[in-house]
Amino acid sequence: MPPQGDQSLSRRLYDADKRIESARLYGDVATYQYYYVDLLVGSPVPQRTSVIADTGSTLCAFPCTGCKMCGHHLDANFDFQKSKTAEWVKCSRRGCDTCRMNYCAYSQSYTEGSSIEGYRFTDYVQLGDEFQENPPVRVQLGCHSRETRLFVTQKANGIFGLAPAKERMPTILVDVFKDKAHVNAAVFAMCLSSQGGLLTVGGFNESLNTAGVQWIALGLHGFYSVAVSKMVVEGPGGSELSGGFGRTIVDSGTTYTYLPDGLYRQLKSSVQTYCKEHNGCGARGTGSTCWTVPGGALSSFPPIRVVFQKGASVNWYPSSYLYRRSSGDLYCLGFESNGAARETAGCLRRDKCSNGGLGFRV
């Protein structure tokens, strides 16, 4: 993979003492428009495949050789015949959603209109790349026989569903958590920075949370949800948005943060008003949601404090809620309207993986 962001993330290895696995995340908001992780699949020679880290879905799947309705991606399609440990999942196994010719199949559609379908199999998988030295564990995966729309054109090979398991269907997280010899607890953490990030399984990396971790309640409804009570645009002349956030879905597969339309308009207006009253935030407005910022100096923009129920809060800094479009000095808002939906969805991207974080407890 091409180097991106903080190279120290690439050197984080499996922590055998704490039983925490680490895997480098690649991608960004502007170019890739998603974050992905490498997996090493099969034996005796593992094959690398790249998959989008998505806390909004449960299936981990990617194209296999012979797929005539799949796109061209970063890595070669997985060759089932080259893995001596790969086994197709028969319909007699528990957790088979669809049966075709006595083999477990899947067909999955996504919100933006794309879809995948194929057959389920089991094999050994290591999270991340070879240098991260994570132990292999047998998990259930999907082998695409068909892709549509964005799945055809995306650079990453497939999808890495990290959402809670549904109706006893196995997920890769559930399978990894069962590996008690190598994984300390049923906990995973993600840091999404401006360029790449880090995924940990079995715990979280304390060195990446210099301000400490605040724990808040987590809802499980087939996805992860939290309760936001308000957003505060900090600084002189700032403003507060409260109520109406609805159920807030934590979804790493959603590129931007989506707010109910009324709250989106208020937040956008609050940032614009703040800049008008503070020397344009040292930038020149370009359209309704972008600014030309000389040298990328964003420090004059206000931080936004996101407050959760029972008081926990995190700062959403301008280097996180603004993203650089292309390679110039144009920066645009990283939050958008969710239309008529009364829900908030997305993830709070960080500038660097070195600030405080949130932990979610069921």
Which residues are CB-contacts of 254 (< 8 A; sequence separation ≥ 6)? 56, 345, 346, 347
Do 217 and 345 lie in one domain? The reply is yes
Q: What is the pLDDT of residue 311?
A: 85
DSSP state of 30: T
Do 51 and 126 lie in one domain? The reply is yes
86 found inside a domain: yes
62 found inside a domain: yes
Nearest of 77, 206, 222 to residue 151 by alpha carbon: 77
Do 346 and 235 lie in one domain? The reply is yes
How open is the CA angle 204-180-106, to the nearest 5 degrees? 85
- Count: domains in the chain: 2
277 found inside a domain: yes
Per the residue annotation, which of 28, 54, 75, 175 is the catalytic one?
A: 54
Q: What is the pLDDT of residue 362?
A: 41
6 found inside a domain: no
Burial 12-37 (b: 16+ CB within 10 A, else e): bebbeeebbbbbbbbbbbbebebbbb
Q: What is the pLDDT of residue 198?
A: 93
Do 34 and 134 lie in one domain? The reply is yes
Do 157 and 27 lie in one domain? The reply is yes
351 found inside a domain: yes
* The two three-digit tokens of residue 134, written as one number: 């994570």
Containing domain of residue 252, as a range? 209-361
Amino acid at 296: G
Do 179 and 317 lie in one domain? The reply is no
* The two three-digit tokens of residue 301, written as one number: 């923009």
Domain end position, chosen among 132, 151, 185: 185
327 found inside a domain: yes
How far is C-alpha 306 from the geometric centre of its chain's CA atoms?
19
Domain end position, chosen among 126, 152, 185: 185
pTM: 0.91
Q: What is the CATH number of the domain that holds 242?
A: 2.40.70.10
Do 180 and 37 lie in one domain? The reply is yes
104 found inside a domain: yes
193 found inside a domain: no
Q: How far apart are CA 267 and CA 254, in angstroms?
A: 19
Do 168 and 231 lie in one domain? The reply is no
Do 175 and 30 lie in one domain? The reply is yes
CA separation, residue 341 to residues 3, 284, 357 (Å): 38, 32, 27
Do 225 and 277 lie in one domain? The reply is yes
Do 107 and 230 lie in one domain? The reply is no
Do 119 and 179 lie in one domain? The reply is yes
Domain end position, chosen among 133, 150, 185: 185
pLDDT along the chain (362 residues), means of 10: 48 87 93 95 98 95 96 97 97 79 93 93 97 96 96 97 84 94 94 90 83 86 91 92 93 92 96 95 94 95 94 91 88 94 81 58 48
Catalytic residue list contains 179: no
Q: How far apart are CA 298 and CA 4, in angstroms?
A: 21
Q: How far apart are CA 12 and CA 25, in angstroms?
A: 12
Q: Please state, as a whole number, how many other Cβ atoms lie within 10 Å of the Cβ of residue 115.
A: 14
Per the residue annotation, which of 38, 75, 123, 251 is the catalytic one?
A: 251
